Amino acid sequence: MKLKIAQTLAEALHELYQIDWQTDTSIIQNTKKEFEGDFTIVVFPFVKMAHKSPEMVANELGQYFTQKLHCSFNVVKGFLNLMFPDTLWLDFLRKNSRNLQFGYVKTEENEPVTLIEFSSPNTNKPLHLGHIRNNLLGDSVSRILSACGKNVVKVNLVNDRGIHICKSMLAWQKFGNGETPESSHTKGDHLVGKYYVEFDKHYKAQVKELEEKGVSKEEAEKQAPLMVEAQDMLRRWENNDPEVRALWQQMNNWVYDGFDMTYKQLGIVFNKVYYESQTYLLGKALVDEGLKKGVFYHRNDQAVCVDLHDKGLDEKVLLRSDGTSVYMTQDLGTAQLRYEEFHPQKMIYVVGNEQNYHFDVLKIVLGEKLGKTFGKAIYHLSYGMVELPNGKMKSREGTVVDADDLMEEMIFQAKEKTSELGKNAVENVNELYEMIGLGALKYFILKVDPKKNMLFNPEESIDFNGNTAPFIQYTHARIKSLLRKAADNGIDYALDSVSVNSAENSEKDLIKSLYEFPQVVQQAGDTMSPALIANYIFALAQNFNSFYQETPIFKEENAGKRGLRLQISELTALVIKNGMSLLGIGVPEKM
RNA sequence: GGCUCCGUAGCUCAAUGGAUAGAGCAACUGCCUUCUAAGCAGUAGGUUGUUGGUUCGAUCCCAACCGGAGUCACCA
């Protein structure tokens, strides 16, 4: 509709004022509630070229629209409000109310792959709140892009090697007494995380001891026996020492078992999992290629570098002086590997904004220095940090909010709240608690603009009232209850079966809001922002609840009016369901 | 210090350069004999960090300053 209006506007401008205007739907807005109308055009941009007053331009355009599109209009200052007959909205409702895929675009057979990497955990500690934001964002954006017709492939890149893993391994060897997840009834990732903390504790003590003997802090950190041993272990790992590799396998497997449980509870599934131990060497060929091309060079100390001063960045090391690879090396390699495997049109990396610089470099090195076409396909979906009231989370200092604990707490709160309200007379109560508790958590995180830092206060547990998932879930459950009642009473409310040709303002407001849903999904896809979906659904639910409160449905004797209201309710429930599903949140039939 | 991002109600967050800057929480007032009160209606709360600029119009764009975060590794 907006497109039609924009096209008509272009014609009108040309005919009336000889203005050539590029059709652009963004100038067509929804009329604000305080004013009368369906769509609004701001005419200020055209008054200068038309050499007329804003009111005159608006009126003349209004006349034109009346003739072409059979609408009426009013003018307030420079704002032209267009009003369409109710049948426009009723037709929309009739066409879409039973379309279960409403808002979703079907993925074409030949649609190229859109690759999205997220989660990317280290295997030395369990997942925490920061990872939750990453996982929820990645998962939700995947769902949204799929709904926009993209062919999405979700990948995870597990950082399963490196000094941090060796630290956990070493501490377990020294202090673990053979403890296993089974023997201690501890989730595997938590057990391994415990020894990571254990390492740090003993390491700090050693550093302190050395410092007391007069060794400088810097030297003490290098000389501490635990650190020396950990580094030795890493070297043995790289040399394929069977003993170290066996321990590494065993502890990583514990962690994977733990991660699997966490992912399962979060509702997250990957199409492919990469392991850094299998990919970290891949970038070396690309580095050689760059050296041959002359875009990289050996520094005096033999480290391979790239000079990015022409891009406003610094010199960056791509290969250590001993020939081993760094983070950037392996990211160059995995990018190429993925490109060859999937030929994606886009490679999205969901990674925190602390790595903005890294991705700037990655894009330039691949795309411009090495001239790879897939360099341009890289998109860093950079999200803000989750902060606690007293600042950032630090895993070694124990100021983290653990992912599993948080989920468990949310589900528990859902249970408490539900019994408090006396609403647990539902089958599958445990499923309901989970839906509400995890829904509240997911919504709390996803409703915030991804690129912004956000605050989480563990003291004030997440609300179940107001702008929250339970509010929206509750709205859905109430609608379902209405629809069940209609079915029980044999009421057929399909618009083709009842006679309606007009709608009241409150009804039209809701229909217009529902009409927006597909556009919101598209916009959320374009901007990769689940927050847009969340805000939209909340506004819709609010809108519906007012309607629900003020407008009786079953007391209405006019079958046409009653049918219309039920039909609006049905599509509202569907949009809530489909929208929440894009956030990875389920909605109950009853609550 | 260089670069990047952010500053909106007491708190957490919204607002494609457009009409009187909106929600939720917290506070206060009403509404369950009525389709589910995890709800609805209402009151109060703002110099959109500051100062300039761009224009018909700026929370949004530009500049400077103030305040905060991130980053500037042969860590990932």
Q: For residue A280, what is the enclosing H or E element?
A: none
Strand B proximal to A377 Cβ, under 7 A = no
- Determine the pLDDT at residue A81: 95
Residue A134 lies in a domain: no
| Protein-nucleic contacts, chain A 416-445 to strand B, CB < 7 Å | 417-418, 421, 423, 436
User: Who among residues 53-82 of A has its Cβ near strand B, under 7 Å?
Assistant: 76-79, 81
Q: Which residue has the tokens 């009108």?
A: A12
Among the candidates A69, A84, A99, a domain finishes at A84
Is A70 inside any structural domain?
yes
Give me the amino acid identity at A270: F
- Domain-embedded: residue A176: yes
A566 and A451 inside one domain: yes
A151 falls within a domain: no
For residue A57, give both structure tokens. Answer: 């331009």
Are A52 and A170 found together in one domain? Answer: no
Q: What nucleotides of chain B have any atom within 7 angstroms of a protein Cβ?
A: 3-7, 11-16, 18-20, 23-26, 34-41, 56-57, 69-76
For residue A364, the 8-state DSSP code is I
User: What is the residue-averaged pLDDT of chain A?
Assistant: 93
Taking residue A5's Cβ as centre, other Cβ atoms within 10 Å add up to 22
**Residue A382, CB, strand B, below 7 Å:** no
Sequence-distant (6+) residues with CB within 8 A of A574 are A97, A99, A100, A102
Quickly give A118 CA vs B12 C1' distance in Å. Answer: 26
Residues A552, A461 share a domain: yes
Nearest nt by C1' to A460 Cα: B25
Q: How far is CA A176 from CA A244, A251, A495, in A?
A: 16, 12, 69
Determine the Cα–Cα distance for residues A30 and A517; give it in Å rounded to an integer: 13
A419 lies in the same domain as A514: yes
Q: A265 CA, B53 C1': separation in Å?
A: 53
Same structural domain for residues A80 and A166?
A: no
* pLDDT of A397 above 80: no
Residues A70, A166, single domain; the answer is no
Least confident of A143-152, A225-234, A277-286, A498-507: A498-507
Relative to beta strand A272-275, strand A315-319 is unpaired
A49 & A166 share domain = no
Final residue of a structural domain among A219, A234, A266: A266
* Burial degree of A246 (CB within 10 A; 0-12, 13-18, 19+): exposed
My answer on whether A452 and A560 are in the same domain is yes
pLDDT, one tens digit per residue, over A88-102 is 999 999 999 889 999
State how far the Cα of A540 lies from the Cα of A103, in Å rounded to an integer.
14
Rounded distance, CA A21 to CA A46, Å?
9
Is residue A335 domain-resident? no
Count of structural domains, chain A: 3
Domain-ending residue, one of A250, A266, A282: A266
Asked whether residue A326 is domain-assigned, the answer is no
Same domain flag for A475 and A563: yes
Residue A334 placed within a domain: no
Structural tokens at position A3: 């497109």
Q: How far, in Å, CA of A61 to CA of A65, rounded?
A: 6
Domain with residue A453: its CATH number is 1.10.730.10
CB A128 within 8 A of CB A393: yes
C-alpha distances (whole Å) from A428 to each of A13, A48, A165, A541, A589 are 60, 65, 41, 25, 11
- The CA-CA-CA angle for residues A568, A572, A576, to 5°, reads 175
Query: Can you read off the two tokens belonging to residue A513?
Result: 């809001």
Same domain, A551 and A427: yes
Task: Please indicate, yes or no, whether residues A449 and A567 belong to a single structural domain of this protein.
Answer: yes
- Order of strands across the sheet with A79-83? A28-30, A39-42, A79-83, A72-76
Q: Is the pLDDT score of A499 beyond 90?
A: no
Q: Would the pLDDT of A222 be above 90?
A: no
**A8 assigned to some structural domain:** yes
Tokens of A88: 């426009």
pLDDT value of residue A293: 92
Q: Cβ of residue A555 near strand B, that is under 7 Å?
A: yes
CATH of the domain at A71: 3.30.1360.70
Contacts of A483 (CB under 8 A, 6+ apart): A566, A569, A570, A573
- Domain residues for the domain of A476 are 413-582
**Model confidence pLDDT, tens digit, residues A273-332:** 999 999 988 999 999 999 999 999 999 889 999 999 888 888 999 999 988 889 999 999
User: Model confidence over A8-30: pLDDT tens digits?
Assistant: 999 999 999 988 888 888 889 99
A66 shares its domain with A172: no
Report pLDDT for A458.
Answer: 84
